[in-house]
Structure 1
Amino acid sequence: MDDEDQIAEALAAERESLRPGCRADAARFARLLAPDFHEFGKSGSEFGYEEALRLVAASDGAPITVENLRGSLVADGVVLVKYTSEHAGRRAHRTSLWRRVAGGHWQIFHHQGTPAAG
């Protein structure tokens, strides 16, 4: 698989993870998270796989808008995704690291959110 295809697939996985239908379906969302998932949240909190599943399940379902979504290949099968999100009137700069796993699908293994100005 060439670099551009890997980036495109990881970007598609990031978009999927942000869709309300995915976030409302625990099994669908869990498939996108690596068992060793780790996040530094925009709140300053740090959490892993189980906490991420719990937080998404408890979320309000409000849509998440995305600006300037882009990716770069870090290594074969590893893509860094960057974008700015807005959710419930709050903006954040975000980065995600995705890796291709057995079966060819993508899982996020690290995410960070940083509050953004207006």
Structure 2
Amino acid sequence: MDDQVAEAIAAERESLRYDCRTDAARFARVLAPDFHEFGTSGREFGRAEALRIVAASDDEPIEVRDIRGTLVADGVVMVKYTSEHAGRRSHRTSLWRRDPDGTWRIFHHQGTPAAD
């Protein structure tokens, strides 16, 4: 696996950890300033609303299956996986960008409910 893909997958896993999601400052560092999401609800939102939603979420763990990544361009990786949280299964896609200092930040995410 390409090093950049492995790093972006590690960053995705970090963003899904309970201890990251419950630490507002830590989670804020994961999201790029231009973060954008199409949620499983069908709603579209930006960084500020994503931070608010995650801060208000429950403490049930997010299970991740079949995580994989594709190098889109140097410093840009698409991560795909299936998640299960609170009894709902979703297909997820995230786009990660490496900052000049080497930090990976998510700048786009989409969740789609999975058919049972």
Q: Which TM-score band applies after superposition, normalised by the shorter structure?
A: over 0.9
Q: Deviations over 1:40-86 (max 9, x none)?
A: 00000000000000000000011000000000000000000000000
Q: Which amino acid aligns with 2:44?
A: E
**Aligned match of 2:108 in 98, 101, 110?**
110
Normalising by structure 1, report the TM-score: 0.96
Q: 1:51 is matched with which residue?
A: 49
Deviation of the 1:102 alpha carbon: 2.3
Q: Which amino acid aligns with 1:27?
A: A
Q: 1:94 is matched with which residue?
A: 92
Q: Which amino acid aligns with 2:57?
A: S
> What SS does the corresponding residue of 1:102 show, helix, strand or coil?
coil
> What SS does the corresponding residue of 2:2 show, helix, strand or coil?
helix
Q: Size of the alignment, in residue pairs? A: 116
**Aligned match of 1:40 in 34, 38, 41?**
38
Q: Does 1:13 align with 2:11?
A: yes
- Give the Cα–Cα distance (whole angstroms) in 2 for the partners of residues 102 and 47 of structure 1: 26
Deviation of the 1:103 alpha carbon: 1.3
Normalising by structure 2, report the TM-score: 0.98
- Give the Cα–Cα distance (whole angstroms) in 2 for the partners of residues 79 and 99 of structure 1: 7
- Say what the alpha-carbon RMSD is for the aligned residues: 0.8
Question: Could you list the runs of 5+ residues in structure 2 that have no partner in the other structure?
Answer: none
